[in-house]
Amino acid sequence: MRDFQTHLVDRMHAARSGADVHVNQLAVVIGGSRFLLELTQAGEVTTVGAITSVPLTADWFLGLYNLRGNLISVVDLARFQGQDATVIDKDSRIVAFAPELGFNCGLLVSRVMGLRNVAGMTLKNPATATDNPPWLARHYVDQEAQDWTELDLSLITQDSRFLHVGS
């Protein structure tokens, strides 16, 4: 596991610096759906520790988490989208937003699947996704016929519902 995480961090740094010629994205599972996160938008990936709940907030806002001395808010995106709450188990992780986004937040994910090269995937017809929010605009199908949705973290930080965590 440690070798996998070291390799993943090295690849993420290479992609951010432009040294990686592939169009790699971080693949995660949230609820029952597969998502792709741009490496320039994804920050640190960490195991789930103690999340301090905040009273009078939406059920999808899990609370605050101490990530290396910095408090970040943790959101259950599955619950935010109206699905069942994400079960926290040994595979669960928190994916922090990249510091460049200027938004101290992390997403609770069911599982991190590593890196996926979207250049080897087929872009689905975007016209079929007109009812999706702008932060879920692109959909792909990989070579195993699995559906992937690109999650744009920079756009979700502009969603008024995402910004108002009060219940």
Q: Given pLDDT bands bounded at 50, 70 and 90, which one contains residue 132?
A: confident
Q: Which residues contact 134 (CB under 8 A, 6 or more apart)?
A: 152, 155
Dihedral, CA of residue 99, residue 100, residue 104 and residue 107, to nearest 10: -80
pLDDT value at residue 126 = 61
Domains of the chain, earliest start first: 2-162 (2.40.50.180)
Mean pLDDT taken over the chain: 88
Handedness of CA 84, 86, 67, 6 (dihedral sign): negative
Q: Nearest Cα to 95, choosing from 5, 1, 158, 2? A: 5
pLDDT value at residue 157 = 95
